A and B are shown apart, each in its own frame.
Chain A
Amino acid sequence: MQTTIVIIAVLYLLVCVLIGIWATRRTKSSSDFYIAGRNLGMFVMAIAAFSSIQSGFGMVGGTGLTLSGGLGFAAGIMVAAPLGFALAWFLVGKRIWKLGALGEVYTLGDIMEKRYSSKAARGWMGVAVVLGVIGYLGTQVQAMGVIMNTIFGVSPNVGAVIGLAILAFYCIGGGMVAGVYTDLFQGVLMAIVSIIAFFLAIDAGGGIPHMTETLYSSKPLLASPYGSYPILSIVCWFFLFSLGAAGQPHFITKFLMIKDTKHLKWGAFTAGLAYVMTTFLVIGIGLCALVLKIQGKFPAVKSPDDTLTAFLTEFTPPVIAGLVIAGLLAAIMSTGSSFVTLGAASLIRDIPKAFHQEVKRELFWSRVAVAALLVVSTLFALYMDTLVALLGVFGWGTFASAIFPPVVLGLVWEKATKQGAVASIAVSLLANFVLEVGAKYGFKPLPPGIINGAFAFTLAILVFVAVSLLTQSSVKKLDRQLLEVIEG
């Protein structure tokens, strides 16, 4: 890899370390560690929310999937995500903030216990989050290894360890304060370099009309918004990735971190616009690579995931390639930092409290838990690929189906019950696991093209409403403050 790219990547990592040192000095309590002291303004919160959602999967995977099958992935997922920001702000933005104002509400488990007065609901939520976090972190570790290998030429395992060490440095010390401010830096970097990369890609592809004509003459479907993806999948993605956004823990817990509700006002617009900017990178480079491939000008890649780095090193100046690669690291690390803090919160706060246990010296043990989660995820990713793949299925679909019904519907519907909450979480975990793992072994009960996570999501919503209605006799009258939260 060229020296310029290496220097830019090193500078990027150095900035993350410096933010980590600054954040560590500011982190003095559990509130600082979990919700950044509930002191964020609109811009920091919105960019942190967007950058934690825009992951290595979206940018690296999305570009590869556009090369493989045209615009279908972008049309389904990347068009849905900005709508997801808007829906989340509308549905739960103010409600989660208000709930946070009622007391020590730092985690999704805290939200569950406040809403349902149930330790079981807290515990089930803690388990869902921990499982998802380990899976997600495992995949981030692997992605980190690939990118560090591209930049520094070290083996993917060594690269993953270097990247994780830096992530550990700022997350252990600075918790969510470090998480959101590195997210801010990383998010702005991602958005800016994406726009530059888009124009470079369009230029390399010969302009939009020329690219469309090339795609159309090769195979008309490739010029359509669906590409070669089944329209059923695109519609499922649209449904899951927009509505399900409000069920992503690394996103909705950001609403607890705002210092005042007035900072909600332009957050959805800021986050949505920033996400749209990064989508331009995926669409631009993905389509350009496809056009160049049709013309026989794109280098052969081992896997579609290598599309982005192959394009950058072959078709862009080193400075731009360096910035975009730093942007990719940013996408991976910003998602990873959010997850590792969430996982620590579940391990140290939610699960023990579900068993009526309280961890003393919570801040210290949270830092230990962050370190432990990073070590476990690294070991899983490096030595237990299959387990990571299995846990990886606890991705967007599982979070959406486990969290949307009890948290989002629970905060807008007075009649929601703890039984409904627990049943929907259990069903979502089971349905996602059976469908995703089953699919690996040939068990595919759904029509081709249906996304398992989207199906589990609908199932969990229906179970939540049905069980809540069946258990109305157990409902205690909600207090006035909680009713005000539900009212919005």
Chain B
Amino acid sequence: MFSADKWIYAFTGLVILILIGMLTGAWRIILYPYLFIIGIGVLLGLWQQLKRKPQLIWVPVSITVLYLILYVWLDVLSLHSPTGGSTLVFGMVPTTALFFLGIWPIAILVSLLYGLTFSSHSDSMQGE
């Protein structure tokens, strides 16, 4: 019997936090819950495969953890200055370098993980 209830409730709880963040104008209460929502989205996408291979849980967990680490790093780096200082990293200020060389490529990494974990094993309707 399929049941993603608890994850939908967790998703909803995080969306409530995001709504609170929007009403109070607190960007961290929008961003950080959302990083967990990304993980839940990936988890729900992998649901069928997770039942056969529970060890695949590392996929949603590592995506969330990676995003969290990079965004916390960006947050800390930009606490005193939006540029994180004037030193150039690959020709960019530190925060811009972290954003465009660290956070941006993760989206492509998530797409790659979709391809690598993809399975059409359960597709009983395939080819119909």
Contact = CB atoms under 8 A, between A and B. Distances in A.
Interface string A448-488: 11100011001101100100000000000000010110111
A83 interface: yes
B107 A83 contact: yes
Chain A interface residue count: which class? 35 or more
Interface in A247-279: 260-262, 264-266, 268-269, 271-273, 276
A446 interface: yes
Contacts of A265: 114-115, 118, 120
B73 interface: no
Nearest to B96: A225
Chain A, interface SS category? helix
A238 B34 contact: yes
Given A82-B107, A243-B37, A269-B115, A483 B2 contact: yes
Contact of A415 (B5, B30, B41, B96): B5
Given A216-B93, A265-B118, A483-B2, A273 B108 contact: yes
B100 A225 contact: yes
A225 B47 contact: no
A12 B44 CA distance: 42
Interface string A264-299: 111011011100100000000000000000000000
A228 to B, nearest CB: 10
Nearest to A94: B123
Nearest to A275: B107
Contact of A83 (B82, B110, B120): B110
Given A273-B108, A409-B8, A224 B15 contact: no
Contacts of A101: 125, 128
Interface string A198-236: 000000000111011100100011011110000110011
A239 B91 contact: no
A37 to B, nearest CB: 15
Contacts of A260: 120, 126-127
B93 A223 contact: yes
B76 interface: no
A458 B95 contact: no
A224 B82 contact: yes
A281 to B, nearest CB: 15
B105 to A, nearest CB: 9
Contact of B22 (A209, A224, A458, A483): A458
Given A79-B100, A454-B22, 20 more contacts: A83-B107, A90-B114, A91-B41, A216-B93, A223-B93, A225-B74, A225-B98, A225-B100, A232-B30, A235-B34, A264-B118, A264-B120, A265-B114, A266-B115, A271-B111, A412-B4, A413-B5, A415-B8, A447-B23, A459-B19
14 contacts: A82-B111, A83-B107, A89-B45, A90-B46, A216-B83, A223-B92, A223-B96, A224-B93, A232-B27, A260-B127, A269-B115, A450-B25, A487-B48, A488-B44
Sort A-B residue pairs by CB-CB distance and give the 4 closest, nearest first: A90-B45, A447-B25, A208-B91, A82-B107
